[in-house]
Structure 1
């Protein structure tokens, strides 16, 4: 179950040679404009508006000075070092409106996490995730300064992991047991997937022309990640 509220500010429109009256007419006719406030799409909060949109989100970052444990081949921690872990995220989405009440959408996303040094990769491994989503929105009510939309979505994710440290420990354990025929690749590569069905509500409210809020609520059923 998820609930999130975001404060939206008035967007600053770039200057152009277009007729100001024409620009104002386009804004006022937009489904994102009501109560004197113009809402822009935001990657942090699902879109409550019945509009046609194409979105792209790209993110990357790095966590520095993470304490990475150093383990021997028996799995016992013998020390630690400071390492860095890098992250990458990419998402695409498209929504097509059909009239003023209904819209369908589709999206895809992917992300990855990895250590930036050999020690960090050996201790923490590498992981990646990708997924897709299908959904629809239906406009329940729209008033002068607020609106409410119902949603239904189907989302799937697949997770992959690479663990060199676990693989080396498995190889050593097999050698100690006298088994040198099979390579324990399952300890090096792992994967899992899940599927979720969600339903919820999305809303927008404009108490004053200079202030707007969007919010959403979702609940549903989902599987655990299964290999």
Structure 2
């Protein structure tokens, strides 16, 4: 089903691509991201309202500090706690194709490797590989000299492979037989959302973007059970190029998702970015997130530092 959906999206993009470019409405080559003289910048965490044809690549990594794993006795009392750090590496790409004057279809595919970096977290957390495919359709509703508003439908499929020596030992003890315990586990779920994306330019130097999404996701611990989810983000931008002829821009934003204990939706934190702004049809920059990572149940959230290098081309 996932492969069929991807093929359908690309078939629509190829069929409509030539006609869309022939329309020539003046919003190609990065022109759409310019409002009132301000060139808006990308973000991995706060979506934008553009419907232009784009391609982007993403690479990054990060570290989460102070992960605590309690070990309990048969009565549920804490015997001792292991503490350590976790390391992340991520890689992904995305493509969006404009359809006609105001529509766009797109996809992203990304992978994240998560592993402990000392003895404590290697035992308790092990390692996991998270693969994420995202498909969307977007419609531009409003464009003025200083603002643009778009709405869309977003579908996400996530599959995670987990290797946890600690969980393997616990399951072996509980079941009484090692053969009944799984060292390698896989978890998969989907998320469907309605999205609203907005951008407004205050001046050639200053701009603001905001996005919100609401929908349903499949509980990874209870297949077939759907729960509500929502996410919101806001980002301020400042570009030095208009006033000082320095092709450097800065972004400052915040994002938060719900439910807070879901790894795919509960990410929250402050975002800081620095970008090259010297070309209309090309942007490159680094975005750093000072984040709180989701934690299951009553466990405390993890403080993490995540960094991404993003390159985006506009066609």
| Unpaired runs of at least 5, structure 1 | 1-24
Structure 2 partner of 1:214: 209
Cα deviations across residues 184-225 of structure 1 (Å, max 9, x unaligned)? 233x23222111221121111012222111111111122111
Q: CA separation in 1, counterparts of 2:113 and 2:106?
A: 24
TM-score by length of 1: 0.74
Distance 1:174 1:132 in 2: 35
Equivalent residue, structure 1, for 2:192: 197
Compared with structure 1, are the counterparts of its residues 205 and 26 closer, same or farther at alpha carbon in structure 2 (3 Å cutoff)? closer
1:29 & 1:191 partners in 2: Cα distance?
Answer: 40
The separation in 1 between residues aligned to 2:169 and 2:29, in whole angstroms, is: 63
Q: Distance in 2 between matches of 1:71 and 1:112?
A: 28
Change (3 A) 1:75 1:59: farther
The answer to whether 1:34 aligns with 2:35 is yes
Measure the CA separation in 2 of the matches of 1:47 and 1:86. Answer: 29
Find the aligned partners of 1:91 and 1:215 in 2 and give their Cα distance: 23
Q: What secondary structure is seen at the aligned counterpart in 2 of 1:44?
A: coil
Distance in 2, Cα, partners of 1:26 & 1:139: 12
Shift of 1:69: 4.2
CA drift at 1:112: 2.2
Distance 1:123 1:166 in 2: 8
Partner SS, residue 114 of structure 1: strand
The residue number in structure 1 matching 2:123 is 122
Quote how far apart the aligned CAs of 1:41 are.
Answer: 2.0
TM-score where L is the length of structure 2 = 0.55
What is the CA deviation profile of residues 71-106 of structure 1, one whole-angstrom value per residue up to 9, with x for unaligned ones? 789997543444221112222110111233111101
Which residue matches 2:180?
184
Whether contact under 8 Å (2:189, 2:219) holds in the other structure is: yes
Paired residues of 1:114 and 1:125 also in contact (CA < 8 A): yes
SS of the residue corresponding to residue 208 of structure 1 reads coil
Does the Cα contact within 8 Å between 1:88 and 1:112 map onto a contact in 2?
yes
Going from structure 1 to structure 2, the CA distance change for 1:113 and 1:29 (only over 3 Å counts) comes to: closer
The separation in 1 between residues aligned to 2:29 and 2:159, in whole angstroms, is: 42
1:85-143 deviation per Cα after TM superposition (whole angstroms, max 9, x unaligned): 11122221101112331111011111122111233211222222111111111111111
Count of matched residue positions in the alignment of Structure 1 and Structure 2: 197
Provide the rounded CA distance (Å) in 1 between the counterparts of 2:61 and 2:29: 36
Corresponding residue for 2:262?
none
**2:58 corresponds to 1:57:** yes
Name the CA distance, whole Å, in 2 between partners of 1:199 and 1:122. 39
| RMSD of aligned alpha carbons | 2.9
